[in-house]
Chain A
Amino acid sequence: MEQVLLQVRGLTVAFKDETVVNDISFDVYKGETFALVGESGSGKSISALSVLRLLPGNAKISVNQMLLDGENLLSITEQGFCKIRGKRIGLIFQDPMSSLNPVMTIGEQIAEVMQIHFNYSKAEISSAVFKLLEQVEIPEPERRINEYPHQLSGGQRQRVMIAIALAGKPDLLIADEPTTALDVTIQAQILQLLKTIQKKTGMALWLISHDLALVSNMADRIAVMQKGKIVETDDTAHFFKKAEHPYSLKLLAALPSMDSCINKPIDTNSNLLKVTDFKVYYPIRKGFFKRIVDHVRAVDGVSFQLQQGKTLALVGESGCGKTTLGKGLINLIPNTSGTVFFNGIDLSELTTDAQRRNRSDIQIVFQDPFSSMNPRMLVGDIIAEGIKALYPEIGSADRQLRVAKLLEQVELPLSSAMRYPHEFSGGQRQRICIARALAVEPKLIICDEPTSALDVSVQAQIIELLKNLQKTKDISYLFITHDLAVVAEIADEVAVMYQGKIIEQGEVEQVLTSPQHAYTQQLLDAVPRID
């Protein structure tokens, strides 16, 4: 076996009375990739931060042994620890948007690390920064070095973050969900980059992730964490063949699979939604009089049809206009041109008031279950809101009955009605949002990435719920997502969007198994999967 780089024994972290990390022990070997996998709240980030002593002051940490390359980390003073952080151990955070300083150029930010840890001259530093930017494969490094974070894309920012982490030439790089905020194609690139760098420098990589499929391609060894405990540690190859712990098995079973679309029955129903040449343009105004000089073509001439009781998945990366299209269809964003026929009625010809009354036909479920409910309203009132607005003739007793029935349908306890949204977990909140949409008995629900903020096991439950509702109520879904595996689980048809246009659409099996367009092919290749 290789040499142990980081050895942790009996690490326990508690906030107030709540134990977040409970007596975990693990080793990271030199040059290997060690993955810590778990759902949100399982304590995986906390354990990484506690190794770096970056936890807030109210955290109580107790640990039996913590050795870095044989050196006892516990005996190092706070001042001495500055030479560990950034120098011996590098760290990459999840969100590249907020982890860079917006008023410093990226060159300065990388140089800052070297000024602290090395005795380099100015010229040496600038050449080292240049080399690092080349190493993380940022195009045109000579120009980028003087740019600010907002001028870079999300993927490029994450590359800069990696460059900063590498600047101290660390023995161990901790990557805390490094690609969660990124698109799937960019995720693949960043992971590839991390692999290459690791091979070149021989450092150890401690990868923290919730994504088992991603980890299966990256890691040498895997530790699964559940509720503060490591329940299983194993070699990657062995783990995916023979996971033992029931929780690991549950995680594996919850993974959406790309193969689930094969052999879906196809039958044709009547058309519910017919969209022709739909466009949403944002004007770009310039000059003194704010004249419109050009347009951002967020949705640029999209046409599709959706049948009663079917699911159309709208797939694309961030910024491709899929969310704008969804909101445009229910008139939350005004469209520039195009016609929408719903149930044979042209929606654009309705008056404003008729539009308001017609709202009950199409509903929307948003991505973020935390911001999509008014924190000061009771769940019962949130669900009843649509009934109150659209069916004012229904009395309050009947309304409460309907709320109770809806809660039952989304499998929440009746007592939820008298509680506030923040008392629920992400998955439960998404159920409440679904109940709110169902309350007005819509024919079509636009699901705008309803599962992307959720853990895999919860994601599987929500998809199951959506499928069941579709069966019993004959509802259609326009399912907006970036996750092709989820598409395979739920969709009947797929439309792939790229830069405001639909570049490919068809039956789900056909698109996912034999894509015609190069971009679809690229998307499919980027999806991490367990071989």
Chain B
Amino acid sequence: MIILWTDALIYMLVLASLFAGFFIFRKPHFQRPLKKISASKTGMVSLLLLVFFIFIGLLDSIHFKQSEGHSTEIISALDFWAKPLRTQTEKTYSAPFSAHLYSKEMIALADGSHSWGYPRLKFGGSHLQNPDKEKLHDVLTKAAIGFAKGASIFILFIVLLWSYLHDRHKHLLNSSTAKAIWIVVFLLVSISYMLIYLSGYYHVLGTDKVGEDVFYQAIKSIRTGLVIGSLTTMIMLPLAIVFGIMAGFFRGWVDDVIQYIYTTLNSIPSVLLIAASILMVQVYMSNHAEEFNSLILRSDMRLLFLCLILGVTSWTGLCRMLRAETLKLREMEYVQAAQALGVKQSTILIRHILPNVMHIVLISVVLDFSSLVLAEAVLSYINIGVDPTTYSWGNMINGARLEMAREPVVWWSLLASFVFMFSLVLAANLFADTVRNAFDPRRAEQGE
């Protein structure tokens, strides 16, 4: 087993959030917001989607060495299970569910003559004799079989759960929110199983320029998206919160210094900073080639540095907002009352100011999360984003961009990355909304 830098950070993040979750569960006055979250359909469904994404991301974060013939490579648990997807590459573009390449080529026929046409794929639909006639029927039956298998796994699970729960926790299965959740779980399990089953026979989302399966790329990109979204936020948040609140609360020279820092940082185009630091990392890695002896180590280091530098350049906006809000809050009478009660300033910051700016933090973190995933795509375009060998939605979009002018157009890379990105960001948005509403005591009373 090999632990990459980003892996380690992801594990720590997961542990920290589990710990925080445990802490929150034990506090009696958090029971009501928790109940409210668990009663909200949108909240629970989006949480489920998020957990599903995170689960895939975690699978993709368990790395180990595997020897294949004479070469050893570092792969993840996800790669291990998705081996067919990873290894069954075609020559170049092919459309989703296609049995042929997307472009015409000279084909050597059995009798030695040549013809100009669409050659068959090596793997996609290779079990078919006559794809033109059989394909639709085959795809549909295989989809139905896959779906049915997935559904039966789910039903088996539900039956086991039902017999285990007996009567004690029947409400877990009976409330309307629970029904929505089970329907979504049912769909998730069945559809994922169907896709896995289908991709044994077809390229479900087609292949890209070098013949790699787009479905595999999109799944691998989940980890990159999560890493960029979460690690960058983890770097940005402490800077923004500490500086923003301190500037707003203490005023005077503290405020001046912090404002100088962030206006200066803001005035430097962040692309320049990012380019400079990525170049520095690359120089460092080529100078210490013995430490970075594999492709995956190098791309991981580059990903980590990208998160770092994105975090350092993106805290200013949130910092400014928090400063403004703190300026307002420090004049509130409950802050003055705390001062009159002799409460220490540090305690006032933590107990009175911080909880009352958390809604801003939550909103901007979720918004930033999506814009960071997008920023990664833009940076990939000018070659200072993640390593070109790293799977990421940005790289997929960047690759697809070149083919948008093609006739007929190659649309599946773009669509795949868009759909995956959209569902991750939407789920994060909806869930954050629910959390914010539930934890705001003033909103807790009102309905949905």
A359 and B441 contact, CB distance less than 8 A: no
- A389 and B344 in contact (CB under 8 A), knowing A374-B356, A422-B441? yes
* Distance A433 CA – B334 CA, assembled complex (angstroms): 10
CB distance from A379 to the nearest CB of B (A): 11
B441 and A363 contact, CB distance less than 8 A: no
For B341, give its contact among A366, A374, A376, A389 (CB under 8 Å): A389
B356 and A422 contact, CB distance less than 8 A: no
For B334, give its contact among A327, A371, A388, A440 (CB under 8 Å): A371
Query: What is the total number of residues of chain B having a CB less than 8 Å from a CB of chain A?
Result: 24
Interfacial chain A residues near B339, Cβ < 8 Å:
332
Q: Which residue of A lies closest to B333 (CB)?
A: A372
For B333, give its contact among A362, A368, A440 (CB under 8 Å): A368
| B17-43 interface (Cβ within 8 A of A) | 28-29
Interfacial chain A residues near B356, Cβ < 8 Å:
374-376
Q: Which residue of A lies closest to B354 (CB)?
A: A376
The answer to whether A4 has its CB under 8 Å from any CB of chain B is: no
Interfacial chain A residues near B333, Cβ < 8 Å:
366-368, 371-372
B337 and A364 contact, CB distance less than 8 A: yes
CB distance from A282 to the nearest CB of B (A): 15
* Distance A436 CA – B341 CA, assembled complex (angstroms): 9
Interfacial chain B residues near A372, Cβ < 8 Å:
332-334, 337
Interfacial chain A residues near B440, Cβ < 8 Å:
376
For A364, give its contact among B340, B342, B352, B441 (CB under 8 Å): B340
* Distance A356 CA – B356 CA, assembled complex (angstroms): 24
For A359, give its contact among B332, B342, B355, B442 (CB under 8 Å): B342
A332 and B334 contact, CB distance less than 8 A: no
* Distance A439 CA – B343 CA, assembled complex (angstroms): 13
Q: Mark A404-442, 1 if CB is under 8 A from B, else 0.
A: 000000000000001011110000000001001001100
B334 and A374 contact, CB distance less than 8 A: yes
Interface residue tally on A, bucketed by range: 35 or more
Interfacial chain A residues near B28, Cβ < 8 Å:
418
| A19-49 interface (Cβ within 8 A of B) | none
Interfacial chain A residues near B336, Cβ < 8 Å:
327, 332, 364, 366
Interfacial chain B residues near A440, Cβ < 8 Å:
341-342
| B340-370 interface (Cβ within 8 A of A) | 340-344, 347, 351-352, 355-356
* Distance A376 CA – B436 CA, assembled complex (angstroms): 12
For B441, give its contact among A368, A371, A390, A420 (CB under 8 Å): A420
The answer to whether A220 has its CB under 8 Å from any CB of chain B is: no
CB distance from B124 to the nearest CB of A (A): 56
Q: Mark B79-105, 1 if CB is under 8 A from A, else 0.
A: 000000000000000000000000000
- A363 and B442 in contact (CB under 8 A), knowing A373-B334, A375-B356? no
For A357, give its contact among B332, B334, B342, B444 (CB under 8 Å): B342
A359 and B352 contact, CB distance less than 8 A: no
CB distance from A397 to the nearest CB of B (A): 16
A366 and B441 contact, CB distance less than 8 A: no
B347 and A389 contact, CB distance less than 8 A: yes
Q: Which residue of A lies closest to B343 (CB)?
A: A389
The answer to whether A360 has its CB under 8 Å from any CB of chain B is: yes
The answer to whether A154 has its CB under 8 Å from any CB of chain B is: no
* Distance A385 CA – B344 CA, assembled complex (angstroms): 11
* Distance A377 CA – B442 CA, assembled complex (angstroms): 11
The answer to whether A330 has its CB under 8 Å from any CB of chain B is: yes
Most B CB within 10 A of own CB, among A373, A374, A382: A374
CB distance from B352 to the nearest CB of A (A): 5
The answer to whether A378 has its CB under 8 Å from any CB of chain B is: yes
Q: Which residue of A lies closest to B331 (CB)?
A: A371
- A330 and B340 in contact (CB under 8 A), knowing A373-B334, A375-B356, A418-B28? yes
CB distance from B169 to the nearest CB of A (A): 26
B337 and A366 contact, CB distance less than 8 A: yes
CB distance from B345 to the nearest CB of A (A): 10
A385 and B341 contact, CB distance less than 8 A: yes
CB distance from A441 to the nearest CB of B (A): 12
Most B CB within 10 A of own CB, among A367, A382, A389: A389
Given A372-B332, A440-B341, 17 new contacts (CB under 8 A): A332-B340, A359-B340, A364-B337, A372-B334, A373-B337, A375-B356, A376-B440, A376-B441, A377-B355, A385-B351, A389-B344, A389-B347, A390-B342, A420-B442, A422-B441, A422-B445, A436-B341
Q: What are 30 A-B pairs at a CB distance below 8 A?
A: A332-B340, A356-B344, A358-B342, A359-B340, A362-B340, A363-B341, A364-B336, A364-B340, A366-B337, A367-B333, A373-B334, A373-B337, A374-B334, A376-B440, A377-B352, A377-B355, A385-B341, A386-B341, A386-B342, A389-B341, A389-B342, A389-B343, A389-B344, A390-B341, A418-B28, A422-B441, A423-B445, A436-B337, A436-B341, A440-B342
Residues of B participating in the A interface, judged by any CB pair closer than 8 Å: 28-29, 332-334, 336-344, 347, 351-352, 355-356, 440-442, 444-445
Residues of A participating in the B interface, judged by any CB pair closer than 8 Å: 327, 330, 332, 356-360, 362-364, 366-368, 371-378, 382, 385-386, 388-390, 418, 420-423, 433, 436, 439-440
